[in-house]
């Protein structure tokens, strides 16, 4: 949440009654509230529609997210009493994903572009997502932020290190895939999944690994990608 009297609630979370009630309570003294969504995944949007109905708030989000009241694009802004929040299209995690730049604090609310811990996030949603993801990280880096606010986990107070870490992981995976494809050119996605993730990968993770690796294979096969 950004603001005290004029508040923006960013990615209010899942449709869990206790959680929705807690957010409602937190903004009950505000003069105005808007809800901002970075993308359409349920763990970000689930609470939005119930919360909006309870407090009479409008929902702002990117094109592709269902039931938003106002579609926002790069450069569109929302006012809070703690400064403007400016939309920036940062695809990769999903095609519609946007971040919110907070110029007054030199911060960026990055949704799921980065997480508050570790070195990876989900990138396997759509064709071209890996290239988009790397470009989006470069875009955020170019802003020169002093802090990143991911939707999951603690703020990232060393943005350069965090972005380097997530880029490094993705580049490492790309090289693993490139090597697997070069060494086993007659193989297929299933074989390359075993080569990259290991044959002992649990069945519960195989579907996600297959989608992630397929996206990496597409990236490697695109001759325009480094």
Residues involved in catalysis: 43
End-to-end CA distance of the chain: 39
Distance (Å, rounded) from C-alpha 75 to C-alpha 66? 21
Q: Cβ distance 85 to 101 under 8 Å?
A: yes
Query: How wide is the angle at C-alpha 205 spanned by C-alphas 204 and 209, nearest 5°?
Result: 150
84 forms beta bridges with: 79
Q: Cβ distance 99 to 140 under 8 Å?
A: yes
Helix (H, G, I), strand (E, B) or coil at 131: helix
Helix (H, G, I), strand (E, B) or coil at 117: coil
202 CB-side CA count, 13 A:
2
């Amino acid at each position: 949440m950004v603001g005290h009297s004029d508040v923006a609630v960013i990615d209010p979370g899942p449709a869990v009654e206790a959680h929705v009630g807690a957010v409602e309570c937190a903004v009950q003294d505000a003069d105005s509230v808007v809800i901002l969504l970075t993308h359409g995944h349920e763990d970000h949007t689930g609470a939005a529609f119930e919360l909006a109905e309870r407090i009479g708030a409008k929902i702002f989000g990117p094109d592709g997210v269902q039931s938003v009241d106002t579609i926002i694009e790069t450069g569109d802004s929302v006012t809070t009493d703690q400064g403007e929040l400016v939309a920036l299209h940062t695809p990769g995690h999903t095609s519609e994903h946007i971040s919110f730049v907070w110029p007054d604090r030199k911060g960026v609310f990055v949704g799921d572009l980065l997480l508050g811990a570790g070195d990876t996030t989900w990138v396997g949603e759509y064709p071209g997502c890996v290239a988009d993801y790397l470009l989006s990280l470069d875009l955020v880096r170019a802003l020169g932020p002093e802090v990143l606010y991911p939707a999951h986990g603690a703020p990232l107070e060393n943005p350069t290190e965090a972005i380097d870490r997530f880029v490094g992981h993705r580049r490492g995976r790309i090289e693993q895939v490139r090597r697997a494809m070069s060494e086993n050119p007659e193989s297929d996605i299933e074989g390359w999944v075993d080569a990259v993730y290991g044959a002992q990968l649990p069945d519960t993770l195989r579907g996600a690994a297959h989608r992630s690796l397929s996206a990496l294979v597409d990236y490697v096969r695109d001759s325009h990608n480094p």
